Structure 1
Amino acid sequence: MKIKIVVLLLCMSVLACKNDNHENASETKSETEIGFDSAKWKTRQGQEFPYRAQMLDDLVQSKKLKGLKKSEVLNLLGEPTRTDKNYMFYEVNRDKIEFFTLRAKTLVLRFSPEDMVEAVLIHG
């Protein structure tokens, strides 16, 4: 009997998990993504950055950041959400419930000793 209850609870929890795939398979890339725009990247509405998620792929794939100096990055992207030694972190989006963060996506830039972008990473 206990095994049946455990199996039932396991099945219910699996079915309750959210599927991150797009519900509409015909949705095209152009409907969800936009080209990188420095002014839109810097736009902040309250605690959110409404355009960053849509521009992230274009920004990373264009390789605009690789080799830039810190001052050039600051001019292009604005002030980072946080910094740590040779890293700059730009919050892209954050899913929250009340005060708890469920999921966050961050653009991470790693700088060389010469203060040039040597790696562009996406965390989350």
Structure 2
Amino acid sequence: MRLSLLLISLFFLNVACKTDGKAPSNPSESARASETVFDHEKWRVKEGRSYPYREQMLNEVVYSDTIRSLSKVELLKLLGEPDRSQEGHLYYTITKTRLGFWTLHRKTMVVKLSDNDTIDWIKSHE
């Protein structure tokens, strides 16, 4: 019984700690990847259940005065439909780590709209 619990625990530990295997071979590649300029086409790319480019563009969207000055209609044209919207908030999934059906970690960009459909604030939430 103990052996089977140990094996199951090791299996889940291995699955949870598994990386995507795409680590950059040198630090300059890592710096370049984190400095991706916002591109609305790449922002909308979805591969399976993930958005491969959103994390690199997140800071540029969150801190962009140009994007903050857009209306809701203009924002939806630029970023596309949100993954979820609720009570004046738009939720865009940035990253999601899953273990089977369970979500272990999620990073989301939240856009709060004011009553006149302008952007009140944009924040990243983990």
Give me the CA root mean square deviation. Answer: 2.1
Task: Name the aligned partner's letter for residue 34 of structure 1.
Answer: T
Match of 1:43 in 2: 45
* Number of residue equivalences: 103
Match of 1:92 among 85, 91, 94: 94
Q: Is this contact kept in 1: 2:33–2:56, CA < 8 A?
A: no
User: What is the Cα deviation at residue 104 of structure 1?
Assistant: 0.4
| Structure 2 counterpart of 1:21 | none
Could you tell me the TM-score, scaled by structure 2's length?
0.73
Structure 2 residue runs without a partner (length 5+): 1-16, 18-24
Deviation at 1:109, TM superposition (A): 0.3
Percent identity, aligned pairs only, is: 34
Aligned to 2:12: none
Tell which structure's C-alpha radius of gyration is larger.
1
Q: CA deviation at 1:85?
A: 1.4
Given the two structures, how large is their TM-score scaled by the length of structure 1? 0.74
- 1:90: Cα distance to partner? 0.3
Q: Identify which of 108, 111, 114 aligns with 1:112.
A: 114
Q: Which runs of 5+ in 1 are unaligned?
A: 1-17, 19-23
